[in-house]
Chain A
Amino acid sequence: MDDLMLNQFLLLGAILFCIGVYGVIARKNTVMVLMSIELILNAVNINLLTFGAANGDVAGAVFALFVIAVAAAEVGVGLAMVLIIYRNRASVDLDDVDSMRG
């Protein structure tokens, strides 16, 4: 219990990832699904920085910064798409977006 273990960070990332996956599958509201995706991306960032610290390398930190930038872009475009779906269908319920159903 003295040292910080590699696994405690990796398991924390895995648990956050699984909670995010549950949110993506189970949530109805599109904005809530986007929030769950943010949880998943944060879990990935914890893993990147943990391995970076374990190897004494800053590559993990650099790629975590790239992941943060891509997450910002993803949220911008995703919320724009949610807005246009809401404008066309007056609903952000994922079950209502079923025009691809045959």
Chain B
Amino acid sequence: MVAQNIFFYVIAAGMVGAAVAVVTTRNVVHAALYLIAVFAGVAAQFIILAAEFVAVTQVLIYIGAIMVLMLFGIMLTRARIGRDVDMTNDHWWIGVGTAVLLAAVMGYALIDRWGDDALPAERQVNAVGGSNTATVSDSIFSQYLIPFEIVSVLLLAALVGAIVIARKDR
């Protein structure tokens, strides 16, 4: 348990630092690379939470697919590669105020409600095959079948929509 705590705090510190770098760096490509670090940290936290399938999906979809799309977007919009002079707008202090206020309210609410609740030590759900992955697959294809199908249709619609929006011959 102590080892898990050490891992949590080391990874969490890296994630918060990388996330701050994502929203403050002046270089668009560096921001994308810092975002990959945040995603990898999130996947590691998922493994600590015994959600190994979601962690693998996080690596495949976020680091593998979404970040490639982001880098393509940076490349195709010809954002100046390298230091960009003016990446934050003039009212950035509104963002600071909103973020600090939000953090204060949420932190107070979380500490007030779940002050010293511990996670259960055994986090594998043993309902179906003895692992969380088996249980997740079982419940996706039984209890959550309709939301799963809706997400499939949504992905298809987004695919068609993205092609229609971005095509040139109109």
Contacts and interface: CB of A to CB of B under 8 A. Distances in A.
A4 B139 contact: no
A63 B166 CA distance: 30
B81 interface: no
Chain A residues touching B, majority SS: helix
A59 B139 contact: yes
Chain A interface residue bracket vs B: 35 or more
Contacts of B70: 31, 34-35, 75, 79
A54 to B, nearest CB: 6
A1 B9 CA distance: 12
Contact of A31 (B28, B91, B163): B28
Interface residues of B, number: 91
B102 A18 contact: yes
Interface in B55-92: 57-58, 61-62, 65-66, 69-70, 72-74, 76-79, 84, 86-89, 91-92
19 contacts: A1-B5, A7-B111, A15-B103, A16-B16, A18-B106, A21-B102, A25-B91, A25-B92, A39-B22, A45-B58, A50-B119, A52-B51, A59-B139, A65-B54, A65-B57, A69-B155, A72-B66, A77-B158, A80-B166
